[in-house]
Amino acid sequence: MGAVMLQGTGSDVGKSVLVAGLCRLLTNRGMIVRPFKPQNMSNNAAVTPDGGEIGRAQALQALACRVPPHVDMNPVLLKPQSDKSAQIIVQGKVRDTGDASYFRTQKRPLLEAVLASYQRLSEEADMVIVEGAGSPAEINLRAGDIANMGFARAANVPVVLIGDIDRGGVIASLVGTQAVIDSADDAMIRGFLINKFRGDISLFDDGYDAIARRTGWKRLGTIPWLPMIHKLPAEDAVSLQQPEAGTQAVVEIAVPMLSRISNFDDFDPLRLEPQVHLHMVPPGKPIPASASLIIIPGTKATIADLKFLRAQGWDVDIAAHARRGGHLLGICGGYQMLGETISDPDAVEGRAESMTGLGLLPVTTTLTKAKTLMNSSGKTIADHQKFSGYEIHVGETTRENAEPMIQFDNGLFDGAVSTDGRISGCYVHGLFNAASQRQSWLAKLGARSNGAEQDAVVDQALDDLAVALEKYVNIDRLLAIADGAS
Asked whether 425 and 390 are in contact (CB, 8 A), the reply is no
**318: Cβ–Cβ under 8 A, 6 or more apart, which residues?**
287, 294, 296, 328, 358, 360
Q: At what angle do helices 15-28 and 56-64 cross, to 10 degrees?
A: 20
Instruction: With CA atoms as reference, report the closest residue to 450 among 462, 465, 434, 464.
Output: 434
CB atoms within 10 A of CB 166: 15
- Answer yes or no: 332 catalytic: yes
The Cα 471–Cα 317 span in angstroms is 49
DSSP string, 152-191: HHHHT--EEEEEEGGGS-HHHHHHHHHHHS-HHHHTTEEE
Strands 33-36 and 2-8: unpaired
Which residue in the list 277, 332, 393, 426 is annotated as catalytic? 332
If DSSP codes are grouped into helix, strand and coil, which group holds residue 221? strand
23 belongs to the catalytic site = no
Torsion angles phi and psi, residue 336, rounded to 5: -60, -40
Instruction: Answer whether 132's CB lies under 8 Å from 15's CB.
Output: yes
Q: Which of 453, 433, 457, 299 is nearest to 375 (CA)?
A: 433
How many other C-beta atoms can be found within 10 angstroms of the C-beta atom of residue 222? Answer: 21
Instruction: Give phi and psi for 62, each to the nearest 5.
Output: -65, -40
Query: Residue 327 pairs with which residues in a beta bridge?
Result: 293
Q: Which residues does the annotation mark as catalytic?
A: 332, 429
